[in-house]
Amino acid sequence: IAGITQAPTSQILAAGRRMTLRCTQDMRHNAMYWYRQDLGLGLRLIHYSNTAGTTGKGEVPDGYSVSRANTDDFPLTLASAVPSQTSVYFCASRGNGEPGYTFGSGTRLTVV
Amino acid sequence: GENVEQHPSTLSVQEGDSAVIKCTYSDSASNYFPWYKQELGKGPQLIIDIRSNVGEKKDQRIAVTLNKTAKHFSLHITETQPEDSAVYFCAASRRDSNYQLIWGAGTKLIIKP
């Protein structure tokens, strides 16, 4: 089934640990995005990539890094997790020339 | 930069009645306005969108209207059903910014049986 796969679905992480959230899409979309959604709030853009090999900073990039080595994968890394990074993380992609986003099911991350 | 305001934050309607959610935007160059529905525990899903060269678009029970002069757009849901209960987000974007979305804060729609 075409779409976006995020892993893990949930994770409890000790503060100070490094963590990589995985995102893979099979739609050959050029653009990919990482959002965080805190409880009861809206979506905030962390990082984005308009095409493989390029990345950009969103609204809340501090403490996060991304890479885009190929079209399909867009991992998000927390170098040293802090409790304020407790959130639900959504990966999204957008087709070439198309404006609509496709979202994954999210990763629920708790930093303790 | 662009700013999108969304109202109300919570909307409770009787099953079968209509629901209207409104958004305003600030950047007159914005030319694409999508609406996303987020069910509990899931990612947002695009349900309808409208471009700036169109005033209204309809898809079965949902419709979106756009007033470019006033810089506001609205989501209309008719004959509401329990499965319409969700959080709805509006957004605005521009083609020349690679359609990066500026999001509204969301509206929690509750359908009362």
Select the residue of A42, A50, A103 nearest B43 (Cβ to Cβ).
A103
Q: Which residues of B23-55 are buried (b: 16+ CB within 10 A; e: fewer)?
A: bbbebeebbbbbbbbbeeeebbeebbbbebeee
C-alpha distance across the termini of chain A, in Å: 35
3-state secondary structure of A109: strand
3-state secondary structure of B113: coil
3-state secondary structure of B68: coil
**Closest chain B residue to A104, measured at CA:** B43
Q: Verify whether the Cβ–Cβ distance A105 to B42 is below 8 Å.
A: yes
Question: What string of pLDDT tens digits covers the 112 residues of chain A?
Answer: 679 999 999 999 999 999 999 999 999 999 999 999 998 789 999 999 999 999 999 999 999 999 999 999 999 999 999 999 999 999 999 998 889 999 999 999 999 9
The backbone torsions φ and ψ at residue B95, rounded to the nearest 5 degrees and listed phi first, read -60, -35
- β-pair partners for A102: A93
Structure confidence by residue, pLDDT tens digits, B65-100: 999 999 999 999 999 999 999 999 999 999 888 889
